[in-house]
């Protein structure tokens, strides 16, 4: 089973043979190949195994991230430092 979390493209690097982007997944920054999708900084994407598989509607991506945050607060004790 795979879990896809929306990530926001921070910057794009076109300097190599593959188009790569730095993507923010809730504070975790990863280098993701965006060679096969049309995306720009500020776009939200879903990635699997380091490759972007689709671009997301910004409103839907932000709603999903808000839902994940709400769920996380249900399971993290108030005195836990993140």
Closest CA to 12 of 27, 31, 26, 28: 31
CATH classification of the domain holding 25:
2.30.30.140
Rounded Cα–Cα distance for residues 13 and 34 (Å): 10
- pLDDT given for residue 73 in this prediction: 83
Q: Which of 14, 5, 2 has the alpha carbon at shortest distance from 56?
A: 5
Residue 52: closest CA among 14, 22, 15, 75? 22
Gap between the Cα atoms of 58 and 24, Å rounded: 14
pLDDT of residue 79: 67
What is the pLDDT, as a whole number, of residue 62? 93
Quote the number of domains for the chain.
1
Domain encompassing residue 19: 7-75
State which residues of the chain have pLDDT below 70. Answer: 1, 77-82
In a domain, 2, yes or no: no
| Assigned domain for 82 exists | no
31 within domain boundaries: yes
pTM, rounded to two decimals: 0.83
């Amino acid at each position: 089973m795979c879990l896809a979390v929306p990530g926001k493209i921070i910057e794009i690097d076109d300097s190599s043979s593959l188009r790569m982007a730095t993507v923010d997944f809730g504070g975790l920054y990863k280098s993701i190949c965006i060679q096969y999708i049309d995306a720009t900084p500020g776009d939200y994407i879903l990635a699997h195994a380091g490759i972007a598989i689709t671009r997301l509607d910004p409103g839907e991506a932000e709603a999903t991230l808000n839902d994940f945050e709400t769920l996380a607060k249900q399971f993290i004790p108030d005195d836990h430092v993140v």
